[in-house]
């Protein structure tokens, strides 16, 4: 089985199945197609399936042209019919791993994906999980389910964990150029994994087991979460002391060793950094361990939106206004600049908190023309054009995401008050409040 599968992967006669066609699955799908593989994409969202089948893209930084070409040439098929899973030689799972309302891991998307394709799994397939999760998920949750079909891992089928490392909108790295960590349940599984990803990724990093691969992704994101938490805490200290935190960071960054700059903001966003650390804190409790350092960083980062809203409130008070009844325009609601990704965006939390204090809130974001329906929150709003009249009509402009498309000079010239969470304005000014 192993030799036959590796041979099909190497000569590109293997069919690659991608389960979950979002910000991770869609770029990976296109990467395999570009390398010469025929790909079958699976998603429960029929709207996504219909758009891809029509050669359209629903993610702003992913162009439609390669999708349309792949559909036309027959290299891409998309479906919501999971009974077709048996057509694929490789099944790569790229579905969300959110938190529950109690901030515990929600593996329902992963488990449902496996359970749905399980009746159609056949000998000679490789299954790879890319969704970020706690160490042990692949061995403890996926392996028993797959073996319940009577197949033997490493003999009849092959099981991997290879964490996604997508960075939406990053022009310097693509799916192909970002090194790929890969761990197998058995050595033979790892050999298959290296063949699967080695044909489409410039560098594959093999590790000893799936737990190591799972922990690697958590370390990457916890590293960022902890350092961002540190600099967010220092931002509050510096603000109280009358020190410009960004000037401090820029000066410290001139040290050629031992320092990596991280910058403060209104809170954490994206699917990874606000969520993944809690997967490890939850799993660590199973071993009687408390991850105090990680949890403290989470507390600091989670508190940042309230800090920003307080700054808005005080800035308005200083001008004889109250937040209750004030008109506030939030600039940027994607979780980071120059993309349309709204996952866990701190801008949404800011909007919720502002409304809870009685503010009248609008937003402007050229990448998100209509406020989307997202979990646990919805605003019936569309993006406001940044005309001079609009800018002058708001009591406060809150810069939450610093898209390059914004005309910051026009904002500065016409807005009566700007609260800046991203350090866009580094000049001394009576109308700009850093938050």
Q: Where are the domains of the chain?
A: 2-211, 235-434
Q: How many residues does the chain have?
A: 435
Residues taking part in catalysis: 272
Q: How far apart are CA 132 and CA 276, in angstroms?
A: 7
Please tell me the CATH superfamily of domain 2-211, with its number: NAD(P)-binding Rossmann-like Domain (3.40.50.720)
pLDDT score at 285: 93
* Domain 235-434 sits in CATH 3.40.50.720: yes
What is the mean predicted confidence (pLDDT) over 106-120?
Answer: 97
pLDDT tier, 103 (very low <50, low <70, confident <90, very high otherwise)? confident
pLDDT at 15 over 80: yes
pTM: 0.92
CB burial of residue 300 (10 Å; 0-12, 13-18, 19+)? buried
CB proximity list for 387: less than 8 A, separation 6 or greater: none
Tell me how far apart the alpha carbons of residues 418 and 435 are, in angstroms, rounded to a whole number.
10
Q: What pLDDT is recorded for position 270?
A: 85
How far apart (Å, rounded) are the C-alpha atoms in residues 113 and 131? 12
Query: Is the pLDDT confidence value at 428 over 80?
Result: no
According to the model, what pLDDT value does residue 167 have? 87
One fold for 2-211 and 235-434: yes
> 3-class SS at 256?
coil
Show the tokens assigned to 39. Answer: 């790909």
CA-based nearest residue to 17, from 71, 66, 67, 82: 82
> What residues contact residue 88 under an 8 Å CB cut-off, 6+ apart?
15, 16, 17, 40, 125
DSSP 126: E
Extended beta strands in 70-192, E state: 76-79, 90-93, 125-129, 157-161, 180-184
Could you tell me the CA-to-CA distances from 276 to 128, 194, 243, 295 in Å, in that order? 19, 25, 32, 12
Higher pLDDT, 82 or 428: 82
Contact 97, 105 (CB under 8 A): yes
Q: What percent of the chain has pLDDT over 90?
A: 92
């Amino acid at each position: 089985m192993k030799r036959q599968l590796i041979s099909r992967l190497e000569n590109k006669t293997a069919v690659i199945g991608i389960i979950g066609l979002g910000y991770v699955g869609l770029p990976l799908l296109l990467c395999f197609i570009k390398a010469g593989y025929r790909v079958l994409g699976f998603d429960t969202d029929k709207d996504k399936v219909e758009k891809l089948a029509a050669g359209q893209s629903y993610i702003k930084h992913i162009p439609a042209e390669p999708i349309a070409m792949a559909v036309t040439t027959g290299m891409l098929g998309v479906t919501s019919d999971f009974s077709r899973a048996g057509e694929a030689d490789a099944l790569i799972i790229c579905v969300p791993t959110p938190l529950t309302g109690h901030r515990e891991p929600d593996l329902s998307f992963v488990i449902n994906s496996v359970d749905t394709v399980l009746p159609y799994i056949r000998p000679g397939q490789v299954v790879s999980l890319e969704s970020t999760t706690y160490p042990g998920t692949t061995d403890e949750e996926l392996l028993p389910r797959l073996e319940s079909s009577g197949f033997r891992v490493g003999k009849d089928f092959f099981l991997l964990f290879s964490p996604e490392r997508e960075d939406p909108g990053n022009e310097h790295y693509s799916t192909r150029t970002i090194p790929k960590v890969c761990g197998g349940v058995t050595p033979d599984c790892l050999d298959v994994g290296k063949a699967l990803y080695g044909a489409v990724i410039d560098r594959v990093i093999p590790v000893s087991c799936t737990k190591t691969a799972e922990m690697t992704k958590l370390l990457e994101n916890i590293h960022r979460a902890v350092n961002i938490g540190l600099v967010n805490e220092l931002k509050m200290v510096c603000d109280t002391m009358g020190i410009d935190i960004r000037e401090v960071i820029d000066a410290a960054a001139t040290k050629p060793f031992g320092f990596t700059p991280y910058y403060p903001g209104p809170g954490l966003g994206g699917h990874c950094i606000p969520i993944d650390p809690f997967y490890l804190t939850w799993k660590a409790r199973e071993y009687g361990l408390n991850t105090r350092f990680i949890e403290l960083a989470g507390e600091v980062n989670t508190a940042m939106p309230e800090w920003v809203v307080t700054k808005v409130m005080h800035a308005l008070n200083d001008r004889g206004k109250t937040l209750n009844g004030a008109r506030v325009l939030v600039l940027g609601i994607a979780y980071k600049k120059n993309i349309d990704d709204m996952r866990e965006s701190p801008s949404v939390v800011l909007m919720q908190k502002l409304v809870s204090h009685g503010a009248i809130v609008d937003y402007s974001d050229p990448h998100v023309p209509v406020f989307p329906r997202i979990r646990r929150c919805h605003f019936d709003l569309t993006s406001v054009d940044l005309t001079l009249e609009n800018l002058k009509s708001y009591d406060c402009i809150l810069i939450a995401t610093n898209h390059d498309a914004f005309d910051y000079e026009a904002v500065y010239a016409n807005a009566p008050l700007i609260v800046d969470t991203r350090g866009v304005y580094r000049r001394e000014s009576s109308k700009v409040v850093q938050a």
